[in-house]
């Protein structure tokens, strides 16, 4: 039999560290997220908690391109690249809304355009994960059960149906809903990721088992387990992201994003 939170061996992958993005500037204790601009070959790392906390830009090799004067401009929660507008966008804390950054010729954010005002997300701390295929944002809501909600980028409105992910379970006929409710606190409760991998679109960070779990959006079942190194930094809120085919965890002590693939 399989242990809870694991899939068959062929669907289990060991991740390795591939890149580090060091935040050398003061401000903030939590990483909101990492976004990658494929046209400019730039990584954008936002700190959560205050509009004056750092936004840090790196090239594709991890070389620092920005200085301490660059800030997030709003209190960021989720950050992503939108290929439709070829820009970096974000959702803010609570009712700060969603924004699109205005980048200068060097790809550095100088200002932002407000996309939607108000609380277009389920909770104050919700971190948005952007799905460019369906033009929607996914958010987790942990107020009762850990549900996945879908909001449309076109108008900022929530779609009617939420998704109840079957934590750690990969067989529909063996679903144990009571076990799922008990297991929700094993996960990072703010930050889902969207991978674009067919049948493994949504990623959750399991802080108890030190692994990233990928779920099929249609069936809400676990399809892949990505094992993290023993020393990988895992947190119950924020500090987890995905972009450019890399899973990112923020080391709060060393103030750096560590990328795993």
pLDDT bucket at 218, cuts 50 / 70 / 90: very high
Domain coordinates in residue numbering, the chain: 9-260
CA distance 116 to 97: 5
Encode pLDDT of 163-178 as tens digits: 999 888 888 877 766 6
CA distance 79 to 74: 11
Encode pLDDT of 103-128 as tens digits: 999 999 999 999 999 999 999 999 99
Burial of 9 per CB tally in 10 Å (0-12, 13-18, 19+): exposed
CA distance 213 to 227: 9
pLDDT at 2 over 50: no
Encode pLDDT of 45-83 as tens digits: 999 999 999 999 999 999 999 999 999 999 999 999 999
Alpha-helical regions (H) of 86-245: 177-183
What tokens appear for 16 in the block?
């390795």
pLDDT at 183 (0 to 100): 76
Encode pLDDT of 81-97 as tens digits: 999 999 999 999 999 99
> Residue 172 CA to chain centroid, in angstroms?
26
Buried b (16+ CB within 10 A) or exposed e, 212-228: bbbbbbeebbbbbbbbb
Q: Is 210 left (phi over 0), alpha (psi -120 to 50) or beta?
A: left
Tell me what the mean pLDDT of segment 225-233 comes to. Answer: 98
Q: Looking at the domain covering 9-260, what would its CATH class be?
A: mainly beta
Is the pTM higher than 0.85? The answer reads: yes
pLDDT at 182 over 90: no
Name the average pLDDT for the chain. 93
Encode pLDDT of 243-256 as tens digits: 999 999 999 999 99
Over pLDDT 90: what percentage of the chain?
84
pLDDT bucket at 261, cuts 50 / 70 / 90: very high
Alpha-helical regions (H) of the chain: 177-183
215: phi then psi, degrees, rounded to nearest 5: -125, 145
CA distance 117 to 92: 10
Encode pLDDT of 200-211 as tens digits: 999 999 999 999
pLDDT at 143 (0 to 100): 82
CA distance 171 to 175: 7
Question: Which 8-state DSSP code applies to residue 186?
Answer: G
């Amino acid at each position: 039999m399989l242990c809870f939170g694991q899939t068959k061996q062929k669907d289990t992958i060991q991740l390795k560290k591939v890149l580090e993005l060091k935040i050398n500037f003061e401000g903030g204790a939590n990483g909101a997220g990492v976004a990658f601009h494929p046209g400019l070959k730039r990584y954008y790392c936002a700190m959560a908690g205050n509009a004056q906390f750092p936004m840090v830009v790196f090239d594709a090799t991890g070389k620092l391109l920005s200085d301490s004067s660059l800030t997030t401009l709003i209190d960021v929660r989720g950050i992503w690249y939108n290929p439709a507008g070829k820009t970096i966008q974000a959702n803010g804390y609570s009712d700060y809304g969603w924004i699109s950054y205005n980048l200068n010729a060097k790809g550095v954010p100088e200002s932002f355009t407000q996309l939607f005002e108000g609380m277009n997300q389920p909770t104050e701390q919700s971190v948005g994960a952007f799905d460019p295929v369906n033009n929607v944002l996914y958010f987790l809501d942990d107020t009762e059960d850990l549900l996945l909600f879908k909001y449309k980028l076109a108008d900022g409105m929530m779609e009617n149906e939420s998704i109840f992910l079957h934590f750690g379970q990969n067989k529909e006929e063996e679903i144990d809903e009571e076990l799922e409710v008990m297991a929700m606190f094993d996960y990072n409760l703010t930050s889902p990721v969207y991978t674009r991998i067919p049948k493994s679109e949504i990623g959750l960070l399991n802080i108890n088992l030190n692994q990233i779990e990928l779920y099929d959006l249609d069936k809400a079942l676990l399809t892949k387990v990505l094992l993290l190194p023993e020393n990988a930094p895992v947190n119950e809120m924020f500090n987890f992201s995905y972009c450019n085919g890399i899973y990112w965890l923020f080391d709060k002590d060393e103030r750096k994003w560590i990328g795993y693939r």
